[in-house]
Amino acid sequence: MARDDDAIDERFAAYVRTRGQHHLRVAVLLTGDWHTAEDLVQASLAKLYRAWPRLDTTTDPDAYLRRIMVNVHRSWWRTRWRRETPVGELPDPPATADVADRQAVGDQVRRALATLPRQQRAVLVLRFFEDLPEADVARLLGCSAGTVKTHTHRGLRALRTVLGPDADFVPVRRSTS
Amino acid sequence: MMSTRESEDEARRLLALAAEDVPPSVDLVAGFQARRERRRFRRRHRPHAGLLIATGAVVAAASIAIAVTLTASPAPAPAPAGLAGPAGLTRAAMITAARNYRVNFLTIPVQPESGPAETTTGSFDPARGAGAETIDGVDIARYDGRYIYLRILPAARKIYEQNFHVILRPGQIWERVTEPKLHRSPFILMTELQAGSVASVQVLSPPGLVALLKGASHVRDTGRVSGPGWTGTAYSFQLSASMPVPSSKLSTIVTTRGTVDIDQQGRIRSLIGLTTSRTPHAPGGDGLTVSSVSLTFSGFGQPIPASIPPASQVIIRPRT
């Protein structure tokens, strides 16, 4: 029995190692900061772990974890529950000007995302970071495809308004084109 | 004016950018494992409803028992069965010791005759094996990953020369020793924890910390706790070890009871406890000494400045 548990743990740890970072990135876009994102992923992983032995080979753990994360995030937002999280302890890694620019823009985008209504933000992240089709996003968020379309349209417009047509967009375009 | 397609592509680029600077400190596997250990511990020790009612009385009784043990009992109370759960604590020690950290260690002898309070600070970089310790601001040890350099304090030079049959040149203020030599038994580590002073070297270092807390027992979740910028869970614990007194049937027993605060990242934030040392039935008294110890951890992931002393200041004793 203990050996079975160990095997499950090992498989789960392997999954976290390979896919954890990706879900952490999704989480930071949903939450707006890395500490909260880590909390969100850890809380979601704990739930996934409980379900892990029951998942069969046809269940995509990514989809399962994504659903958990969206639900956990929704419940946090609804209860306005936020824990105090560690801050200001990590040194900034040495950054070149280009890296620093990118980090600054990244931070600006996260803050801009955080100003959007939760549902709009979730739609943008799931549509454009996770690259999910509208129908999947609708299923995940428990709304219609039409609502997803509306949120997408309004979310993009709002993001553009918040970020503004300033120079911060320029290095992004330049560095990724 | 951007088209819809351009807007969407732009959103993809921006979101990818906003998610690329993952902080190096995030370790999902370690964090998850710490949570899992805690959950397993709670599951194993989930109390009955009836026990919950009795908890207050048990805690009160335990407090009295601790006080009695510290002042009158000839030996630490035997461990109650089924309460041991050190895995979570060991895990926390390993997570804490996995990255750079700073530690502040305050030891205060309860009996004034045992000496003054001392503050030891340590900073460690486990990846390089580098680090340094100071006591009350005085450089006392440096680590370079291969050796430890221990300070020979001015007051101890004569004793050092007599004990080791060497003559120290002026300016030779460090002894270079190999690290494994200093990794010792739980008893020694606990004595170091109690003593502070020069002997505290090692117990604060990553392997020392892990070795020390490996021996913890009676680990219990005592509720939520928070500090500046963090929240977590407090655990009570007990450490106990003994060592025979040479050429006698006596043993010296050292015990620490206290609380460890572990944050949500699974790192130890503080350890506070009372350490007692005594040799029961020893002629002339059991030599009870009691110290309050307090370790505070911070600076996780921050760079550690470490430099080794110049060769002219170092003595390497020949192996005997």
> Which chain B residue has the Cα nearest residue A177?
B13
Q: Are B264 and A90 an interchain contact pair (Cβ–Cβ within 8 Å)?
A: no
Helix, coil or strand: residue A114: helix
Q: Is residue B11 part of a domain?
A: no
Q: Is residue B16 part of a domain?
A: no
Q: Does B8 touch chain A (CB under 8 A)?
A: yes
Q: Are A128 and B8 an interchain contact pair (Cβ–Cβ within 8 Å)?
A: yes
- The highest-confidence range among A10-24, A75-89, B37-51, by mean pLDDT, is A10-24
Query: What are B199-256's pLDDT values in tens digits?
Result: 455 677 777 778 888 878 888 888 888 888 888 889 898 888 887 777 777 888 888 9
Q: Does B145 touch chain A (CB under 8 A)?
A: no
Nearest-CB residue to B21 (from A42, A103, A125): A103
Q: Does B47 touch chain A (CB under 8 A)?
A: no
CA A41 from centre of chain = 9
**Exposed e or buried b per residue across B134-163, where buried means at least 16 C-beta atoms within 10 angstroms of its C-beta:** bbeeeebbbbbeebbbbbbeeeeeeebeee
The predicted structure's pLDDT at residue B88:
78
Please, which pLDDT band fits residue A58 given cuts at 50, 70 and 90? low
The predicted structure's pLDDT at residue B2:
62
Write the single-letter amino acid at A118.
Answer: R
Q: Does B1 touch chain A (CB under 8 A)?
A: no
Q: How far apart are CA B290 and CA B254, in angstroms?
A: 10
Nearest-CB residue to B226 (from A12, A84, A156): A84
The runs of H, that is alpha helices, within chain B are 4-18, 28-44, 49-71, 87-96, 157-164, 186-195, 206-214
Q: Which residues of B touch A5 (CB under 8 A)?
A: none
From residue B81, how far is each of B38, B85, B217, B281, B313 by CA, in Å?
19, 11, 10, 27, 52
What is the nearest CA distance from B248 to chain A, expressed in angstroms?
A: 44
Domain stop point among A84, A111, A137? A84
Report which secondary-structure segment, H or E, holds A71.
Answer: helix A61-79
- Among candidates B87, B67, B69, which has minimal Cα distance to B78? B69
Number of domains, chain B = 1
User: CB-based contacts of B264: which residues, under 8 Å, 6+ apart?
Assistant: A39, A42, A83, A85, A86, B230, B231, B232
Structure-model confidence comparison of residues A8 and B267, the more confident one? B267
Q: Are A24 and B28 an interchain contact pair (Cβ–Cβ within 8 Å)?
A: yes
Q: Are B230 and A84 an interchain contact pair (Cβ–Cβ within 8 Å)?
A: yes
Q: Does B224 touch chain A (CB under 8 A)?
A: no
Q: Are A42 and B301 an interchain contact pair (Cβ–Cβ within 8 Å)?
A: no
Q: Are B29 and A20 in contact (CB under 8 A)?
A: yes
Q: Does B15 touch chain A (CB under 8 A)?
A: yes
The position carrying tokens 């070890």 is B241
Q: Are A36 and A24 in contact (CB under 8 A)?
A: no
Are A112 and A145 found together in one domain? yes
Domain stop point among A84, A109, A128? A84
Q: Are B109 and B285 in contact (CB under 8 A)?
A: no
Q: Is residue A25 part of a domain?
A: yes
Q: Is residue B213 part of a domain?
A: yes
Q: Is residue B320 part of a domain?
A: no
What is the nearest CA distance from A64 to chain B, expressed in angstroms?
A: 17
Q: Which residues of A touch B226 (CB under 8 A)?
A: 84
Residue B219 structural domain? 35-315
Average pLDDT, chain B: 73
Q: Is residue A90 part of a domain?
A: no
Residue A162 structural domain? 96-177
Query: What are B52-109's pLDDT values in tens digits?
Result: 222 222 222 222 222 222 222 223 333 333 333 567 788 888 888 888 989 888 888 7
Q: Are B217 and B156 in contact (CB under 8 A)?
A: no
Are A105 and A176 found together in one domain? yes
The predicted structure's pLDDT at residue B75:
30
Are A3 and A44 found together in one domain? yes
Q: Are A28 and B18 an interchain contact pair (Cβ–Cβ within 8 Å)?
A: yes
Q: Is residue A89 part of a domain?
A: no
Query: What are A146-177's pLDDT values in tens digits?
Result: 999 999 999 988 888 888 765 343 333 333 33
Q: Does B25 touch chain A (CB under 8 A)?
A: yes
Q: Which of A8, A12, A16 to mutate to test the interface with B (most CBs of B within 10 A)?
A: A16
- Among candidates B122, B119, B138, which has minimal Cα distance to B130? B122
- Residue A163, domain CATH: 1.10.10.10
**What is the pLDDT averaged over residues A77-102?**
45
Q: How far apart are CA A60 and CA A34, in angstroms?
A: 25
> Which chain B residue has the Cα nearest residue A99?
B21
- Read off φ and ψ for residue A164, nearest 5 degrees: 75, 165
Are A11 and A61 found together in one domain? yes
Number of domains, chain A = 2
Are A78 and A107 found together in one domain? no
